[in-house]
């Protein structure tokens, strides 16, 4: 994975097997399913400031905007502030969601085979 290319959608997380990096929430789900592990201490790149990693559980997600998705047709991008996410939605569409909701949508896409 080229972390520079996917800087806006990357994740870092820990499991009992160590620290891991993925390019997207879709790859986080695929990794956890294949390895049968639960990711913990999950951090996600802040979409508007991709050098900043934020706690995924505290992030506000925008799902389904015009922003190109990484490893999915339907983007799931993270913002540190609700106001930034809502402003983004007003310009680029989509809707706001929690990390759990974004994770669930990514999981459902993978299970249905409707990702990328």
In a domain, 2, yes or no: no
Residue 25 lies in a domain: yes
3 state SS of 64: coil
**Which band of pLDDT confidence, cut at 50, 70 and 90, is reported for residue 25?**
very high
What local confidence, expressed as pLDDT, does residue 42 receive?
98
Q: What is the pLDDT of residue 29?
A: 96
Any domain includes 42: yes
pLDDT of residue 1: 59
Residue 114 has pLDDT above 80, yes or no: no
Q: pTM for this structure?
A: 0.92
- Domains identified in the chain, total number: 1
- Full 3-state SS string of 7-37: HHHCEEEEECCEEEEECCHHHHHHHHHHHCC
Domain range for 69 is: 7-112
* Residue 15 structure tokens: 């499991």
Is 101 part of any domain?
A: yes
Residues 63-71: what's their mean pLDDT? 94
Q: Residue 92 falls within a domain, yes or no?
A: yes
Query: What Å distances lie between residue 97 and 2, 15, 41, 80, CA to CA?
Result: 27, 24, 19, 12
């Amino acid at each position: 994975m080229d972390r520079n290319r996917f800087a806006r959608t990357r994740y870092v997380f820990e499991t009992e097997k160590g620290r891991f990096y993925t390019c997207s929430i879709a790859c986080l789900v695929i990794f956890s399913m294949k390895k049968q592990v639960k990711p913990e201490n999950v951090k996600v790149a802040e979409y508007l400031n991709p050098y900043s990693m934020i706690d995924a559980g505290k992030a506000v997600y925008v799902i389904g905007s015009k922003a190109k998705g990484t490893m999915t047709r339907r983007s799931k991008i993270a913002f540190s502030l609700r106001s930034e996410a809502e402003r983004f939605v007003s310009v680029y569409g989509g809707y706001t969601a929690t990390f759990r909701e974004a994770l669930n949508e990514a999981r459902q896409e993978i299970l249905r085979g409707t990702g990328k």
